[in-house]
Amino acid sequence: MSKPTVGFIGLGIMGKPMSGHLLKAGYPLVVHDRNRSPVKELVTEGAQEAHSCKEVAEHSDVIISMVPDSPDVEAVALGPDGLIEGLREGQIYIDMSTIAPGVAITVAEDLGKKGVRCLDAPVSGGEVGAINATLSIMVGGDEAVFNEVMPIFETLGQTITLCGPNGAGQTVKACNQIQVALNFVGMAEALVLGAKAGVDPAIIVKVLSGGYAQTRVMDVRGPRVIRGDFQPGFKSKFHYKDLNIIMKTSNDYNVPLPATAVAHELFNAMIAAGRGDLDHSGIITILEDLAGVQARTQE
């Protein structure tokens, strides 16, 4: 049985390696991005170029988008020259961006009127997970559609979970981003306190990594943080965007998130300081500024 043609919209830090995995797995691929460079590169590897989201829809069976924010998904799916203008009944649209749950539901409802089946499938794992095809994928939508595209998900990630109906994937991703943000803030506060008290940050990371305080955040980013390496796997400005979504969602459901609110303001300070392009582990630099200490061994 031949594989469905996959259309991929958004070839940034995550989308480009994800597209590459699909090509290598033998999926006919149609790609579109406003940035021509990754499009050209994927075309040389065998992909077909589309010049609009509408054109992607016209030449694909399954469409995937990986774009920055809710307005971008709305433009891709529902805007002028968007998917809605080229879609046909029976197609599948998978949005793998991180957006507001309410927007995911609206897009699914609007495209559903054209007979298009939709899944929201945000991911966790950052650039490394995208490159290594080890992403965690959180999916909202119909179980039959989920099962139908499972081979595509398995090409992109390892932990793939149906979380509930449309919007549920985005809700679980919001929960994920709460935990990750607080882990980064907790690690930063621990390192800054220890450094101010005169303890080598490398010792702190070593000890905390061997006990109950151990997290994947510390395992992956701790050694880089103490070297002052904030080359982004996931940029702070994008985590701030996610925290904006979380705070709006918490307001929609009347759920107080006091610790998340503090993390939100710390990431806001990252943006104000012009550090939005640093990795989200760079939140430590804000705590260092506040404490008047550098919790790193070198720049």
C-alpha distance across the termini of the chain, in Å = 54
* Residue after which a domain boundary falls, among 144, 165, 186: 165
Q: Write the pLDDT tens digit of every residue in 124-163.
A: 988 889 999 999 999 999 999 999 999 999 999 999 999 9
* Residue after which a domain boundary falls, among 130, 147, 165: 165
For residue 297, being part of any structural domain is answered with no
**Both 161 and 48 in a single domain?**
yes
Question: Does residue 299 carry a pLDDT above 60?
Answer: no
Q: Write the pLDDT tens digit of every residue in 3-43.
A: 999 999 999 989 999 999 999 999 999 999 999 999 999 99
Buried b (16+ CB within 10 A) or exposed e, 229-255: ebebbbbbbbbbbbbbbbeebbeeeee
**Both 155 and 197 in a single domain?**
no
- Contact criterion met (CB below 8 Å) for 52 and 32: yes
* Residue after which a domain boundary falls, among 97, 131, 165: 165
**Both 156 and 182 in a single domain?**
no
For residue 298, being part of any structural domain is answered with no
**Both 87 and 223 in a single domain?**
no
State the CB neighbour count (10 A cutoff) for residue 76: 27
**Both 120 and 155 in a single domain?**
yes
**Both 154 and 232 in a single domain?**
no
For residue 266, being part of any structural domain is answered with yes
Type of residue numbered 185:
V
**Both 148 and 44 in a single domain?**
yes
**Both 220 and 160 in a single domain?**
no
**pLDDT score of 294:** 93
Residue 225 belongs to what domain range? 172-291
Q: Write the pLDDT tens digit of every residue in 204-246.
A: 999 999 999 999 999 999 999 999 999 988 899 999 999 999 9
**Both 287 and 198 in a single domain?**
yes
Q: Write the pLDDT tens digit of every residue in 81-118.
A: 999 999 999 999 999 999 999 999 999 999 999 999 99
Q: How many domains does the chain have?
A: 2
**Both 229 and 98 in a single domain?**
no
Q: How far apart are CA 172 and CA 119, in angstroms?
A: 14
Q: What is the CATH number of the domain that holds 256?
A: 1.10.1040.10
**pLDDT score of 298:** 53
Q: How far apart are CA 298 and CA 12, in angstroms?
A: 30
For residue 299, being part of any structural domain is answered with no
For residue 128, being part of any structural domain is answered with yes
**Both 150 and 19 in a single domain?**
yes
**Both 215 and 156 in a single domain?**
no
For residue 110, being part of any structural domain is answered with yes
Q: How far apart are CA 108 and CA 74, in angstroms?
A: 11
Tokens of 286: 């804000």
- Contact criterion met (CB below 8 Å) for 83 and 54: yes
Sole residue written with tokens 């009944």: 89
Helix (H) or strand (E) holding 270: helix 258-272
For residue 15, being part of any structural domain is answered with yes
Q: How far apart are CA 58 and CA 87, in angstroms?
A: 6
Q: What is the CATH number of the domain that holds 87?
A: 3.40.50.720
For residue 115, being part of any structural domain is answered with yes
- Contact criterion met (CB below 8 Å) for 174 and 102: no
State the CB neighbour count (10 A cutoff) for residue 211: 7
Beta bridge partners of 168: none
Q: Write the pLDDT tens digit of every residue in 39-60.
A: 999 999 999 999 999 999 999 9
- Confirm whether 206 is a catalytic residue: no
Catalytic residue among 173, 206, 235, 241: 173
